[in-house]
Structure formats: C-alpha cells, structure tokens
Structure 1
C-alpha cells in the first residue's frame, strides 16, 4: 500500500518535473548562446575566466542530460507502468551533485568579487565563503546518501538535508548581493558618467542575484508545503541554469557597462585643469580632493584590462569584478 501511494504521488506531480525540465532546457539554450557569445567577443580574457566559463557550461550540459533522462525514464520508457514510479532513478539523485558544482563555481566567483570590492575584507569574505562551501558540502552529502536509497519513501529521510541545501543557497545569495550592493554604492564618486556605470552595475548585480534567490526560496517553500511531491524539482532543476546564466550575462555585459564611462578622461582632465588655477572643483568641503585621480584610474583599468591588454597585470575593476 505504501508503494502504491508513493506511485500515485509521483505520478500526480511528474508534470511539475516535466515543466522543470522544459524551463531548464530553454535556459540551457540561452546559456549556450551566451557561452558562444563570450568566447567570440572576449577571446583575450585571462585563462582562468575561460576555464570558469567552460567548466560551468560543461556542468550545465551534464545536468541537463541527467534531468532529461529522469523525465524520459518515467514518462516515456515506463509509460503506464505505475510500479516503476515508486522507485527512484539514479539520474535525479546525481543531478543534485552537478547543481552543487555549478553553484560552487558561480558563487565562488561572486565571493571573489566581494573580496576585491571590499578591499580584501577577510571576515566578510570568510563568512560568505563558509556558507558557499557549506551549501556545496550538503549537496555532496545528499547525493552520496541518496544514491544508497531505492524508493521515494526512503528519500523522505533526507528531507532535512534537502531543505538545508536550499536554505544555505538563499543565505549565500543574500549575503553576496547585499555585500556587492553596499560596496558598489559606497564607491559612487559624484560624477555622472562614473555614477551611471556604478548604478548599472548595482542594478545588474541585484537583478541577477534576485532570480537565483527567488528560485531557491520557491524550492525551499515547495519542500515545506508539498514535501511528498516533486513540485520542488520544477524550481530546483532551473536553479543551476539561473546561476550559469547570471555568470555569463555578467561577463558579457562588461563592454556595454564600460561604455558608460568612456568620457571620464575628458572629465578628469577638466578637473585637473581647474586645480592648476587653484580652483576647487567642488563646493562641498566633504568631497575628497583626490577624486579626479580615482576616476582616471578606474577608466584606464577598465579600458586596458577588459580589452585584454597583456601589459596590465592588476585591475580593481577587472572582468571578474563586474
């Protein structure tokens, strides 16, 4: 009787898994286009960024294959076979591991941005990194333990661990977005061009981080309310794809965002010219006097390093900063 009940539960919610695979598939198509666009437009990027993009796309591909195999096995191969519905297929368990790999790569990349934008704030960076690693560790633990189970009823024993993975994902996303928002907002200069660029960075950071946060919350809430169904996988299947697309969108938007500050040389020159005549460029005494130097530096770094100039070795707003 328990197996029959389990079969009915899975059967009635397999549609949610099917929708999740369709959504993940569409997002996978977008990530493929973005990956092609990245390598076509940024061929001179540093090697570790290229490795990051390649690894993310590879894990994305494996994950899409696994979840497609899961739905195909239940819906097509075993169509009208209720007995198989009580048993778990190995691919739906293994996909958790690859989702964890994708999250680790993308959130690790964002943690590095927090470290650099915060002027190497060790306590903050360690806190964010600890949450990210804890999330990945729980994903690995879930995958290992679940592979030893056979039925959906047995999988219910790991509900707490599954909720922990989603909860840690939410916490990590919120910490990263909040930290990036704070440090980017604090770096405003008061000049229109540079502030426009920073505002665009803030909007981009918040919007991409918000999508993954909402998806992780939806998956967590689904487990809490409909824990005996597969509704939560409709969100969890797409979570890794949202991470990869947010990474690729951030990298591919660099030139557009950089273009917002292209006139900062002219602005900086005007300020330096005024200084030669002993005039203060600001009436507000609270403004720092070395602001023109800061804008000059930001502009030159973004122009040289993000176009792949090998002569520039360090850059506070490098491609892994934006």
Structure 2
C-alpha cells in the first residue's frame, strides 16, 4: 500500500497531534509542579518516579518536535522525503511512549496487588499483559529500523495491532480489577463507602480514557495505514498515562478529607507524608499517622465523659433509697 503524499493526511495530521501533545504535556507538567509543591515530604521513591516520568516525556516531546522539524523545515517543499528512510527519533518516540505506559500500569498493578490482598493470579496476569505489550512494542520498533521506510508501515500492521490491542485489554482489566476489589472494601459506613466510590470512579475514568485513545489509534492504524492519522492520538497516549498517575498521587489526601504536607506542616506535623499511594485498605496493614490515634483517643474520652454524665443524671432521678440499695432488674 502506497503512502499518501497529501500534506493533510501525513504531516498535517502529525503536526496537529504534536500541538495537542504539547498542551497535554503542559497539563502533566502542572501536575508535577503541584506534586512537588504540596507533597515535598513524600517518599523518595515517588519523587524519583515522578521526576523520571517527566524526564521521559520531555525527551519524548523533543523527539516528536525534531522529527516534524526534519520533515517540514529541513526538507521543506520536498514531499518525496516521506518515501525515504524514516528518521530514528520518530521510531524511538514509540519506545518512550510505551515505556511510560508500562511504568504507570505496573504501579496500578501494585494497587491491585494490595487491594486484592496479594492475589498472585490476578496481579500476575496483569503484569504478564503489561510486559507482553512492552515486548511487542519493542519488536515493532526493531522491525521499523529494519524496514527503514515509512511506506512499510502497513507491513507491521499485525505487530502494531497486537501491541495496541493488548494495551486496550490491559487498561480495561486494571480498571475492572480495581473497581471489583474496592467494592469489597465497603464497610457500610457512609464516609468510608463514599471514599471507595470516589476511588472507583477515578479508576474507571483513567482506565477508560487511556483505553479509548489506544483503541482510536488501533482503528486509525488499521483503517488508514497510508496516512499519519494514527500518530495524532498516539503522541498524547503516554502523557495521559503519566497524568493519570500524577492525578492519583495528588489526590491521595484530598480524597480522604485531609490536607497536604504543606498544610500539615503549619501544625508541626511532618509524618503525614508517610501516607502511602495505595490509600485504602481494611486489613490493618496501612500505616496510621499520629493524629489518627490522637483523634481516636479524644473521641474515646468524649464518649466516657458522656457516659458518666448520663449515669449521674439517672441517679438524680432515682429516689434516695435507690442510691443505697442495688436495683433488681425484672426478668421480663
């Protein structure tokens, strides 16, 4: 199948995708800034993970921008350049986008591991799908360097379809698993059940969004392989994965009705940062911060004082004789 040389179908679609990905990358950068400003006392592993994701996405944007510069500026007015060897940055961009998605989905698989009480079968199946998709994507990139021609895109349709299709299945499976195990954490109390419902909505929204973009890329790749239409949604896919992860980190304490590290530091509390990313569990393994125990102790003290006052009021109603003699309950 010959590659279309119409600028609207090729470079035009890629440029639109690059503009959209720039906007999405800006949103992601804002999320990163918010994270480091509010959760500056968070665990080092999370800081390194956030910084690593942002660095990969920055490099991804540079690769996309350089590729478009090569085709639209360096070879301005020469559409035949699309028939030549593919530039290496365009192929490497595929690897970076898939790498970000793999990292984020592995983090979500860890949440399934915790919420499912370490169910090795479900979590193992998710990890198998995640790593399988990444492996297929690497094969696609290797084959892309071997063919070296944009006109050979249609020859890699099977490999690309397997990778994108596995991504769709993985996203929906992770969202469904999180919702299922979150539902099992319901206790019947309104506050805790509301929290579980909110987390379920977050899981559905993030999973459906990324799966939809992945599905759109799959459909465009198979229906119009002679164009660059599929590049437009794929340029934003990795950044949407990163945003979903940052949104989870940035709403840990907000969802639970608590302040951020910066808000907590005004009262001298610095241990709130030890709150884990996994947020909800009823198994007792989630670490409790000191103010939790303080609030529990205060509530117990209030309950004791109320109990004493009720007994005192009851004694005042009793007759003087009842104060010196014990009451005998009627065996009704």
Q: Is 2:274 aligned against 1:308?
A: yes
2:4–2:227: 8 Å Cα contact kept in structure 1? no
1:7–1:83: 8 Å Cα contact kept in structure 2? no
Counterpart-to-counterpart distance in 2, 1:206 and 1:187: 17
Tell me, which stretches of 5 or more residues in structure 2 are unaligned?
A: 260-268, 277-283, 289-332
TM-score after normalising by structure 1: 0.79
Where do 1:72-111 residues align within 5 Å?
A: 72-87=69-84, 88-111=86-109
In the other structure, the counterpart of 2:138 is 140
Moved more, 216-225 or 7-16: 7-16
Counterpart-to-counterpart distance in 1, 2:271 and 2:148: 52
What is the Cα deviation at residue 150 of structure 1?
Answer: 2.3
Tell me, which stretches of 5 or more residues in structure 1 are unaligned?
A: 262-302
1:9–1:228: 8 Å Cα contact kept in structure 2? no
2:213 corresponds to which of 212, 215, 232: 215
Where do 1:7-46 residues align within 5 Å?
A: 8=5, 12-46=9-43
Q: Is 2:255 aligned against 1:257?
A: yes
TM-score after normalising by structure 2: 0.76
Q: Bigger radius of gyration, 1 or 2?
A: 2
How big is each residue's C-alpha offset from its partner over 1:283-305, in whole Å with a ceiling of 9 and x where there is no partner?
xxxxxxxxxxxxxxxxxxxx997
Where do 1:110-149 residues align within 5 Å?
A: 110-149=108-147
1:20–1:238: 8 Å Cα contact kept in structure 2? yes
Q: Is 2:144 aligned against 1:157?
A: no
How big is each residue's C-alpha offset from its partner over 1:18-64, in whole Å with a ceiling of 9 and x where there is no partner?
11111111010111111111111112222221221111111111111
Change (3 A) 1:83 1:135: same
Secondary structure of the 2:175 match is helix
How big is each residue's C-alpha offset from its partner over 1:150-184, in whole Å with a ceiling of 9 and x where there is no partner?
22222322111111111111011011000001111
Change (3 A) 1:305 1:233: farther
State the Cα RMSD in Å.
2.3
Change (3 A) 1:305 1:201: farther
Counterpart-to-counterpart distance in 1, 2:181 and 2:145: 42
In the other structure, the counterpart of 1:55 is 52
Counterpart-to-counterpart distance in 2, 1:118 and 1:305: 27
2:102–2:131: 8 Å Cα contact kept in structure 1? yes
Secondary structure of the 2:5 match is helix
1:21–1:237: 8 Å Cα contact kept in structure 2? yes
2:106–2:127: 8 Å Cα contact kept in structure 1? yes
Q: How many residues align?
A: 271
What is the Cα deviation at residue 149 of structure 1?
Answer: 2.5
